[in-house]
Amino acid sequence: MPPSHPTTALRAGVSLLAFALLMVTLSGVLLLAPGPLSTNKEEASGLRLLVLVTGLVGVTLGCALGWTLRQTLHPEDPGHTSLAQENARLRAQVQGAFELVGVAAHDLGNPLLALQLRLHRLRAQTRHDVRAQEGLSVAEREAHRMGLMVHDLLDLSRLSAGRLALELEDLDLADLTREVAERFSDQAAAAGSSLVVHAQGPVLGRWDRQRLDRVTTNLLSNALKFGRGHPIEVHVLADGSQARLSVCDHGLGLPPDAQERLFGRFERLGDTGRPGSGLGLYIVHQLVQAHGGTIHVSSRPGQGATFTVELPHSLS
């Protein structure tokens, strides 16, 4: 593909031309210099002059080639400077936009939490009214989904600014996973999916509770989205120096090309008929990496997907 910047294109063309001429010149020197000169003094003198001129032309073109390459690799013209300044300005604008998103997400958090608590109380007060329970259940799920999006945007802002600080504490990953699964019990029942957590014992480590809560929450939300109507299985275990969390949905599955771009920012996979920001798995990946861990997916179309998180018991 030709260079898009006109100055770069011009320099590239000059460099190529100089290189070609230099090769032709050197070829001429190599062809003319080794052979015996003619016994004819005038012809021999002419050949020597030709070799000398050819050599001088080669040296000149070599210097020209070096200069043009230097200008191409280390340009000093005002156009390049202005381009760098424009890139810096755009980066600053993007960072400013992420900071604005973070402020807005933070300000939305408190009223959204109040709304969720109010909906929870209303459900408790109208437990004998089936119609009210159905409406409030839908409203509560949507408020919960909105809360996830707000937290995703807040973490996106922090990650983009490099300000994500972990608050480490001793905790049991198995207990944390059960707590998160309990919050999804109503949503799983509405989706026609059973939700079972398999943990044979405590899985202890030193992690950020809030961030691992987010990781588990996003993985379960994703499993219910793509495994609707199918059982959801969660396994938590300690494996040597690592803790392992896996979520299997037995649902639609993912084709190989989708798995390659799965953890990209704003990446949405498939049409489930449900809105989403495309940030959930990206945030999960970033939070797991911040703990020094890894996440990968194993899936086949029509056979569900299993997301596996592996975490060191503590950051070294």
pLDDT tens column, 119-176:
888 888 888 888 888 888 888 877 877 777 777 777 777 777 676 788 999 999 999 9
Mean pLDDT of all residues belonging to the chain:
74
- Number of folded domains that form the chain: 2
Q: Which of 51, 76, 101 is the last residue of a domain?
A: 76
Q: What is the pLDDT of residue 50?
A: 53
Q: Tell me whether residue 37 is in a domain.
A: yes
Q: Which of 26, 44, 76 is the last residue of a domain?
A: 76
The alpha carbon dihedral of 239, 297, 167, 182 has a sign of negative
Residues 64 and 174 in one domain: no
Segment among 32-36, 129-133, 237-241, 297-301 with least mean pLDDT: 32-36
Q: How far apart are CA 159 and CA 95, in angstroms?
A: 11
Q: What is the pLDDT of residue 289?
A: 92
Bridge partners of 150? none
pLDDT above 80 for 73 = no
Q: What is the pLDDT of residue 183?
A: 87
| Domain of 200, in residue numbers | 168-316
Residues 63 and 191 in one domain: no
pLDDT above 70 for 287 = yes
Q: Tell me whether residue 217 is in a domain.
A: yes
Q: Tell me whether residue 294 is in a domain.
A: yes
Q: How far apart are CA 270 and CA 283, in angstroms?
A: 19
Residues 181-206 have pLDDT tens digits of: 998 888 898 889 999 999 988 999 99
Q: Residues 209-214: what's their mean pLDDT?
A: 91
Q: Tell me whether residue 253 is in a domain.
A: yes
Q: Residues 263-283: what's their mean pLDDT?
A: 63
Segment among 74-88, 165-179, 268-282 with least mean pLDDT: 268-282
pLDDT above 50 for 273 = no
